[in-house]
Amino acid sequence: MKSETSYNALLTLTMPSVLEEDVLDFLLDHPELAGGYTVTDAQGMGRGMRLSSSMEQVQGRRRSKQVQIAGTEANLRQLLALLAVQIPSPEVSYWIVPVIDFGRLA
């Protein structure tokens, strides 16, 4: 196994599907801060969640996208600051958690 010790944090972004392309385009423009990431489908629920369509209101949840980026905490915080300027949306939420180890199996 090959360890990449420079990754010490994981940033998770969640957003409505309509913002996915804008966020992904932003990440593509900043490879020095987000060299790679994972995009998955998600469903958002809870207080403060905007439910736009009648289907979302009936189901009580919104289709969302989730992006996870491993990196250094400093780079991820810089990425967030830039993202907040370019896409200032209260519908994009985030959290950063520590990464104990990151590597590849070969």
Mean pLDDT of 81-102: 95
Query: For the domain that residue 62 is a member of, what is the CATH number?
Result: 3.30.70.120
pLDDT band at 7 (very low <50, low <70, confident <90, very high): very high
What is the total count of domains within the chain? 1
Q: What is the model's pLDDT at position 13?
A: 97
Q: Give me the domain span that covers residue 9.
A: 2-101
Q: What is the model's pLDDT at position 47?
A: 63
pLDDT band at 63 (very low <50, low <70, confident <90, very high): confident
pLDDT exceeds cutoff 60 at 81:
yes
Residue 106 domain-assigned? no
Q: What is the model's pLDDT at position 85?
A: 97
Return the CA Rg of the chain: 15
**Which residues partner with 97 through β-bridges?**
10
